[in-house]
Structure 1
Amino acid sequence: MTRIVEVGVKPETDRVATAECWVSTTPEAVGHLVAGTKKGSPIETAKIAGVIGAKQTPLLLPHCHPIRITGAEVIVEPDEGTGRLRVETTVRATDRTGVEMEALTAAAVAALSLYDTAKAFDRAARIDGLRLLGKSGGKSGDYAL
């Protein structure tokens, strides 16, 4: 049987979750991502894509409830020296269920957007280390790495 968990009887609480992942490529490719392309700024595009990813999580993951997101932030930290970009996302909501999947989806979608541009400069580019860094709110309590 497939179903979505009943959360209607749970109290609404403030929820926050933070996730991260990395795009690993070459220093040259990171330079192109930082400088921008004829399409615009890949880093700003990735930030927008991440926010959209957070908002669309229930459409992508069948067991996720639609929740009232009150805030979403996507940070991209490029390191041209190592050829890596760190993506960190934080999602906030006041609702009956957590925002961990929204934060993870936001990070993954932002990284996919960066990868989409990086692949033109480095076919071996990859996405690594998608993980939840922490969460707060709800019955299960807080979690932090």
Structure 2
Amino acid sequence: MSHLTHTAEGGEARMVDVGEKNSTSREARAEAYISMAPATLQLVQENGLKKGDVLSVARIAGIQAAKQCGNLIPLCHPLMLNFIGVEFELQPEHNRIRIETCCRLSGKTGVEMEALTAASVSALTIFDMCKAVDKAMCIDSVRVLEKSGGKSGHYIADAE
């Protein structure tokens, strides 16, 4: 494992200087799952919750979250994202919703944190909109699925 880039020699936190790096096309995909009662999932699917269209609101929340990542995560750089995608897959056989996000840019630093933040906040928004009918929901398995671009190269989860 390589050294931690956000830690100085003395152990203190620092922001990485990306000024001398080359701009490259970069993309990251992330996922998260939110498990819920079957009746809750059905309400989401049928758009039957009082707060409104859960997945549309969660999509917008995820997009907004990715754009705010530099303000939320202390050592993240503010990025000019070219694309943010948030998609949902209802999985009734597992009583859950799978969230997949994608962030792209041409820049000097990666977009993994933006993709992870979009997935996390989308899941949190679903929780918020459904909590009145299901307080036992569970968000889990937030992870990077794939990243490309930059010096560290292409990464695909579960391919190693």
On whether the aligned pair clears a TM of 0.5, the verdict is yes
Q: Which residue of 2 aligns with 1:64?
A: 76
* Partners of 1:64 and 1:31 in 2: CA distance: 37
Give percent identity, aligned residues only.
45
* Partners of 1:81 and 1:44 in 2: CA distance: 22
For structure 1, the residue ranges without an aligned partner over 5 or more in a row are: none
Rg bigger for which structure? 2
* SS of aligned partner of 1:74: strand
Residues 1:17 and 2:17 are matched in the alignment: no
The amino acid of 1:3's aligned partner reads R
* 1:48-63 matches, cutoff 5 A: 48-63=60-75
* Partners of 2:38 and 2:95 in 1: CA distance: 4
Greater mean alpha carbon deviation, residues 5-14 or residues 110-119: 110-119
* Partners of 2:39 and 2:85 in 1: CA distance: 27
Return the structure number with greater strand share: 1
For structure 2, the residue ranges without an aligned partner over 5 or more in a row are: 1-11
The amino acid of 1:88's aligned partner reads E
Shift of 1:143: 0.1
* Partners of 2:77 and 2:67 in 1: CA distance: 11
Q: Structure 2 length normalisation: TM-score? A: 0.87
Question: Could you tell me which of 27, 39, 42 is aligned with 1:31?
Answer: 42
Shift of 1:117: 1.9
> Structure 1 residues 122, 38: closer, same or farther in 2, change over 3 A?
closer
Q: Which has the higher contact order (CA 8 A, sep 6+)?
A: 1
* Partners of 1:12 and 1:80 in 2: CA distance: 42
Shift of 1:39: 2.7
Shift of 1:3: 2.4
Q: Which residue of 2 aligns with 1:82?
A: 94
Q: Structure 1 length normalisation: TM-score? A: 0.96
Shift of 1:82: 2.5
* Partners of 2:56 and 2:90 in 1: CA distance: 12
Shift of 1:81: 3.6
* Partners of 1:72 and 1:100 in 2: CA distance: 12
Q: Which residue of 1 aligns with 2:19?
A: 8
Shift of 1:122: 1.6
Contact conserved, 1:30 with 1:118, CA < 8 A, in 2? Answer: no
Query: Segments of 4+ in structure 1 off by > 3 A?
Result: none
* Partners of 1:123 and 1:70 in 2: CA distance: 36
The number of aligned residues is: 145
